[in-house]
Structure 1
Amino acid sequence: MTGSPKARDESGTIQPGEPTVIYPLVSGSGNDRVLKEWIAGHDSYLLANDDRPIVDAEFDVCVVDKDGLQQYKDDLKQVKSAAKPALLPVLLLLSEHQSDIIETDRGEIADNVLVSTVDEIVSLPIRQAELEWRIGALLRLRDQSLDLQTQTRQLRRFQEAVEASGHAIFITDADGTIEYVNTAFEEITGYSRAEVMGETPDILNSGKMSVEYYEELWETISSGSVWEGEIVDRRKDGELYTAYQTIAPITDDGEVSAFVAVQTDITERKELRDRLKRHRDIVQRLEDPIMLQDETGAFELVNEALVDFAGCPEAELLGGDEHQFMDEATADLIERRKSEVFETESPVQYAVSPTFERSNEEAVFSTRRYPYYDDDDDLAGTLAICRDVTDLEERTRQLQVIDNILRHNLRNDLTVIRGLAEQIHRQTTGTTAKTAERIVTHTDDLMQTGEKSRAITDLLSEDSDLKPLDVTATVRSIAKEINGSRSDVQLDIDVPDRAFVSTTLKIREAIEELVRNAINHNDRETPSVEISIGTNDETVGIHVIDDGPGIPEMDRDVLETGRAIDDLYHGSGLGLWLVYWIVSRSNGSIEVTERDPRGTDVTLTLPRCTETEA
């Protein structure tokens, strides 16, 4: 620890009424006694504990004589150096006959001590009033140095803070000429200090702001007021950036002498804000209700569609849940679905037909509810998108009614026709019998087409509720059934032990339809068909490979795209439509590849999952 001034206030000055601590460094016993008696008898002075070395003591002024200066010159240099840039005053007492030491430039004291160590010299004898005045003058210099030290420290801290700031800061004179920029200014704008010194902020002008904008800005800051607002500026490389800018005038005696500007680069924030606004606008304009709910089920975000159905203003909905505007049974069902999302952290799909008690609306919704995560990636709630399928449900019901009527009438009539044809076939021979046989065959085909039509109607009427399914077991079951009923077919399989996919449970019908189609349309005496399964990290591929004549272009188009390329395409291809819709509703795809020299590979690609996923 080195010598230092005793504790003071934050500015370093002595508080009023606080005594000045004097450290005596006088070697002469007579002078030492007189000085200590004078200090002891003076109310404004306090004697420092001179039993402690000067390098460890706290004091305001050191009083030293010639011998003390020579003896303690190194210690005095040390404590004065440690106190810099503040002044630690040292007062030298010299008798009249010793004053010649300050007139020489050859003595050790004059050369090495006086200049760097002593701040004031007084000749003895001296009146007490004059000594007190000399000490007071040194203390005033001391306080001034402490004030300067404080101001310098504050200025240094300000400069460090400005340089460390992540905001671009620049200072101009009253005419707008740049006098200072910080490091962040260089990083944000791409201009170095040297490039902008002496320039004006017009160097950043992007041309995107109106003349009126700058006129209003200049009028505001010139009048002594602070300007705040967004501005689009241009970096050195020509790239535009958006900043939030604050410009404050610096006044001197009421006159504006300079300006300080702070820019925060908000380009990314503004782009994000604009995107969020666009997304919010889209969500609000959608006709289907969308809602975000926290872990308790309370609404955090709702769109206009939900507001309309609920019959409640948005402000009333936020913080509440479905129970405040929906029939109790449906609200309870939705609660269970929310719990399912939290338990599995997976999306769920379900249909509800709520009655909105306040708006008297009724609707049918196909809802997909997703887990929602916060910024820390913690599960924080659910997001639901409710597709209004009321009209679709009504059309589906109508289709089912028509389908039931047609199937009933068609099946009855076809049954009658088939019976008559069989009777004719039994009772006749020749051309008539062959014609009757063809009628029986065509009747069977029409009845089978009717069954496929019913299967398609049922498929399109149901929710595509996906479940995990082991397609290996499915393929083995299909192969076992066909091999047991068809001895004229060579059906082989190449499958792994297990292969789980996320699919509708009707996928068996799709695979079986492809296998039977490959057999029935094969022109060989013994059709050959292979079913194989391949997997990767994300998908499972199911291949149905045959050695037949190939698939017509119209059939291929149905399988791969769900479109018929010719208006003449008719009911004979309903089985392929069924395959397409089953795979499509399982989020899968179909690819048809011709084999060399003949044959076809129809590949169903489905999302892979584990046994517990869906």
Structure 2
Amino acid sequence: MSRRRHVLYVDGGGDETPPTHLETADFEVHTTATVAGALDRLATASVDCVVASPPLADGDGLDLLGRVRATHPRLPVVFHPADGSEALASEAIGAGATDYVPRSGENGDRLVEAVTNAIAAEPTRPAERVVHLVRTIQSALVRARTAGEIDDVVCEAIVDTEPYAFAWIGEYDETDGQVTPRASAGFEAGYLETIDVAADGSRVSRGPTGRSIDSHAVEVVQDIPDAPAYEPWRAEALERSYRSSAAIPLVHDDTLYGVLNVYADRTGVFDAPERELLADLGQTIGHAHHRVRIQELYESQYRQLFEEAPVMVALTRDTDDGPVIEDCNRQFAAKLGASREDLRERPLTDVYTEEAARELLDGDGYRRALAGEFVTTERALRTLEGDRLETLLQATPRRNAAGDIVGTNALYVDLTERKRARKVLDQVEAMEASIDGIGILDEDGEFVYANQAHADIYGYDDPDAFVGNTWRMLYGDDERARFESEVVPAIERGEEWRGEARGRCADGSAFPQDLSLTPISDGGYICVVRDITERKQYERRLEGQRDNLEILNQVVRHDIRNDLQVVVGYATILREFVDGEGRDYVERVVSSGRDAVETTKTAGEVAKVMLSATAETKPVGLRHAVTNRIDEVDAAYTDAILTTEGTIPDVSVPADDMLGSVFKNLLTNAVVHNDGPVREVTVSAAVADDTVAVRIADNGPGIPDDRKDAIFEDGEKGLDSEGTGLGLYLVETLVDRYGGDVRIEDNEPEGSVFVVELPVVDRSDER
């Protein structure tokens, strides 16, 4: 050994004379008779082993053992009772005694051997012990990711190594010279709260910590009880059984990252080899702090780039249910119209269009990104407002601190504006060939482009005549006022505007135009104009023709029909005055006259439909429309049998006041074109889902398949018919207007069935 070992002998017999065997074994023996005396000695002097020889004056040996273990958990304690027993031996060893040697004349050598072995139980080669410590710390430092983790693993590893009892790391502040603890481990009992440490030239800077900061070297105190420079901290250190200490600077490239302070519960621990190894350890810890600081700098720079990046960045995490957004930058959130908090932990598919989501999952795009096989591609995202966002995506695997792939780094470049610009450019390429006038105006309403057609429409030779001028040059005062009040506000709100206007040509003449204004992203808009002078002239001709047709319709429906009814009336009277063959001629006049009257009625109805500008419908009761027409036709054709199968459903259908004409024409057609010996017509109706089907069946000759579709065409006559075909044409026109369908089926065993299907109006819609 490099020094004599100190043994504290606690003897309750009051002799205070140490056993001869201990002194002859070259131990420096100190004696006391009480537990209190033993604790005082331990608090003020260095002790390598305690020998307890109960009973004691103020307690038993077990009490002393417990008190020693509370303050000196690693100090060897050998039990040396006056009266030993197996029970006491078991209890003492169970309470933490290092060894048990009963006091008797023949056990002196055994006591020396027990004390020697107890003291020797600490590592006999400090260099190997510290090398093991350094390796343990180095292994832990590899996994440390923060400065706090480094400090914690260092302090914990040190206090787990004999004979170190306490360790702490201090932060040196160059501005005021103070050292502030930032991590600690081991038996401390408020030590750091009771001391002041500095490196400012004051009295509290002459300890090992202050000297280490100044020298950037390991500074030690081998004997705290006797070291004069340790006076400011001695009492607090001895109270906690600190007997020696070392301050190790944590330095890398002349940068001090803190000071590590290590305390041992015995003196003389920090010899030259140990100090050299601790110096290397300090450099290792300093390098680890340097690495973490650089990493934190890189991470800070990366985080700043991540936050401020002009492109959209999202960090995703792989889960069993698909990728989720773990974090995103401000640009990503802003483009999607959401906050970052709203987007975190949401499935990535929430911000993808349906097509892009299929590519992500079903198309294995995410798996390829996790494997590092993803190639740059376009992806369409969806904002929280539902708008489409075109992007260019690059995705790479994202790893955690352990190196495991946990998700992806996804970078999106917004292509929406670029695609919109490309679309505009594509449009420009076609503009010169367009027959429409096309102009692009800026946010102030000034032309920045116009095609040749635009110039031609307004009577200018060169489209450059518009560039730099506003749209106001192309309109009169009234139109400018209307545009300022109606059109410009809509454009400023980002809305499209379409409508008609009156433009003003270069020569001052006005012309009607169709005008389309579409906003673009820079605040301007695209103007498309078409001269509709010819269309307006055509519309006026149509209006004139419609007026003429209306006049003709009135002539047919009123004048001609009234004259025909007069003819039929007089012919009916002539029946009473004509006999023989002449009566047949009169009957033919009456029949033809009646047919002509019906034809004028049908023609009037067809004209009414054709002259209607809009097809406005309303809920109309089906039962009333069908049954009334059955009664009318039944009264007109007394030789025919019209029957109803079941009840006509009391439902409403979308129609107008001409709905009855549909069924009257079909019923009349079924009777007139029936050559059976007894003309029979059966009407039935049924509701299925949201439609009602009315079936009008006859026992006539039937209709060939190749004519079932053509029979409804304008002017198509029935089989062997001398009629006009207007009735069935009117039927199909009206049914189509009502949103329904009409078709012909075969009746069994003979005849035809006309089926009319119409949508049923919900009763709630009638209110």
Q: TM-score, normalised by structure 2?
A: 0.41
Q: Which has the higher contact order (CA 8 A, sep 6+)?
A: 1
